[in-house]
Amino acid sequence: MINVLFVCLGNICRSPMAQAVFERMVDDADLTDHFQIDSVGTSGWHIGELHHYGTQQVLYKNGMGTFRHRARQITHDEYTNPDTYIIAMDNSNIEQMRERFGEHPNVHLLLDYFDDDRISEVPDPYYTGGFNGVFELVKQGCAGLLEAIRAEQKI
Ligand code: 4NP
């Protein structure tokens, strides 16, 4: 089983969006049985809450309205599993995990998998809106991530 854990700050905007998009791509590729996909926040600010209305709307518009989610905070056990692909939305997510739990051998930014030098982090739509633009970035990152994992895991 290939574990993929998407991480953002609150686990209500970006990482649930990435989870929904990646799950759909994996499903479309007929690879659902190979993957365990989830998302978490570095903070515990929104534990138990649904994903943000902006994320709900953009997922609905793109045919993922059935996605179900409750926000969680990353646990020590999740982070320290060396076999998990930890996929963060921005550098502050990575910093916070490092400070709490130490180094991880398999932490990446989602946009490491999107070949565009102008942007390396997924901006936080909680403060600025712009859920549609974030969705496009998340889609690009997830497509590249799936391609990279397929090559690495030979599936
Ligand atoms: P997310 O966005 O990390 O993409 O889920 C945020 C959600 C909540 C807050 C900040 C960012 N907040 O300050 O509560």
Model confidence, pTM = 0.99
- Residue ranges of domains in the chain: 2-153
Q: Sheet with 35-41: list strands edge to edge.
A: 35-41, 2-8, 84-88, 107-109
Q: Which residues does the annotation mark as catalytic?
A: 8, 14, 124
pLDDT average, residue stretch 101-130:
96
pLDDT tens, residue by residue, 92-109: 999 999 999 999 999 999
pLDDT tens, residue by residue, 127-150: 889 999 999 999 999 999 999 999
* Ligand 1 centroid to residue 24 C-alpha, Å: 23
> CA nearest 83: which of 33, 148, 36, 32?
36
* Ligand 1 centroid to residue 15 C-alpha, Å: 10
The answer, yes or no, to whether residue 76 has pLDDT greater than 90, is yes
Q: What residue type is 121 in one-letter code? A: E
Q: Quickly list DSSP for 36-98.
A: EEEEEESS-TTTTPPPPHHHHHHHHHTT-TT------B--HHHHH-TTEEEEESSHHHHHHHH
For ligand 1, mutation pick of 40, 45, 111 (most atoms within 8 Å of CB): 45
Average pLDDT, the chain: 98
Would you tell me which CATH number, out of the four given (1.20.1090.10, 3.30.70.20, 2.60.40.1120, 3.40.50.2300), belongs to the domain 2-153? 3.40.50.2300
* Ligand 1 centroid to residue 95 C-alpha, Å: 16
The answer, yes or no, to whether residue 8 has pLDDT greater than 90, is yes
pLDDT tens, residue by residue, 32-46: 999 999 999 999 999
